[in-house]
Amino acid sequence: MRILLLGAPGAGKGTHAKLICESLNIPHISTGDIFRDNIRKNTFLGIQARSYMEKGELVPDELTVAAVKNRLEKEDCSSGFLLDGFPRNINQAGNLNKMLSDTNQRIDAVLFMEAPDKLILERLTERRYCSKCGRIYNNKFNPSEVEGVCDSCGDVLLQRKDDKKEVILERLAIYNKTIKPLVDLYNILGLLHKIEVTNNIEEVFYKISKTLEAV
């Protein structure tokens, strides 16, 4: 199955992407994770992406599309994948469409995770991640058992640089400007499924599972 996950930063895309991918046994491809990984490794892509990400801006399409193309060509994507955080604008959607049609593939479902801005802000400022295994927590809604320590691997929990309030506001402004045309596009194509987000992870995942079963 080939799935796209759309939604504001903090809507829970990362958390649900992991759950969906485990249940369908498909790779989770997050452009944000690809960039963060490249920044950690100090690659050429990482050096280029860093300044945009730290300001909350989008990394230029040329770089982003090339990174996704490279990832989708890997063997593990041949029978399906979930794209999280891509496409972020109409140009990227067009490029994705071309990549897939060139290899006789098509998107099966686009999940649009809808959440009010207030909930998003609350979640992002309290979001923490494990510096080792990447597990995501929220100090308020999904805390680790011991504050600041990962339940899975015991490593330290950190806050993403772009989860600071000024950067979040910039990311949300960009998101709100670019999401509507994408939602309209996938709606017209009959692929869009709206998932209303709440703070209850099980409830949201249940809605997602039911939606995917019906595709």
- DSSP state for residue 31 in the 8-state scheme: H
The rounded distance, in Å, linking the Cα atoms of 196 and 203 is 10
How far from 86 is each of 33, 150, 193, CA to CA, in Å?
Answer: 11, 28, 16
Neighbouring residues of 196: CB distance < 8 A, sequence distance ≥ 6: 114, 115, 207
179 contacts 99 by C-beta, under 8 angstroms: no
Asked if 205 interacts with ligand AMP (CB under 6 A), we say no
Q: How far is the CB of 34 from ligand AMP (least distance, A)?
A: 8
Instruction: Determine the length of the chain.
Output: 215
13 in active site: yes
132 in active site: no
17 contacts 30 by C-beta, under 8 angstroms: yes
The rounded distance, in Å, linking the Cα atoms of 201 and 31 is 22
Asked if 12 interacts with ligand AMP (CB under 6 A), we say no
Asked if 64 interacts with ligand AMP (CB under 6 A), we say yes
109 contacts 191 by C-beta, under 8 angstroms: yes
2 in active site: no
Q: How far is the CB of 56 from ligand AMP (least distance, A)?
A: 6
Q: How far is the CB of 70 from ligand AMP (least distance, A)?
A: 14
The 109-114 sheet, strands edge to edge: 28-30, 81-84, 2-7, 109-114, 192-196
Residue nearest to ligand AMP (CB): 32
- Residue in 85, 112, 135, 191 binding ligand AMP, rule: CB under 6 A: 85
| Catalytic entry in 50, 69, 160, 194 | 160
Asked if 83 interacts with ligand AMP (CB under 6 A), we say no
Site for ligand AMP in 98-157 (CB under 6 A): none
Which region, judged by CB under 6 A, interacts with ligand AMP, from 56-64, 98-106, 107-115, 136-144? 56-64
- Residue in 150, 162, 204, 207 binding ligand AMP, rule: CB under 6 A: 162
- Interacting residue ranges for ligand AMP, rule: CB under 6 A: 9, 31-32, 35, 52-53, 56-59, 64, 85-86, 88, 92, 162, 171
**Active-site residue set:** 13, 88, 127, 160, 171
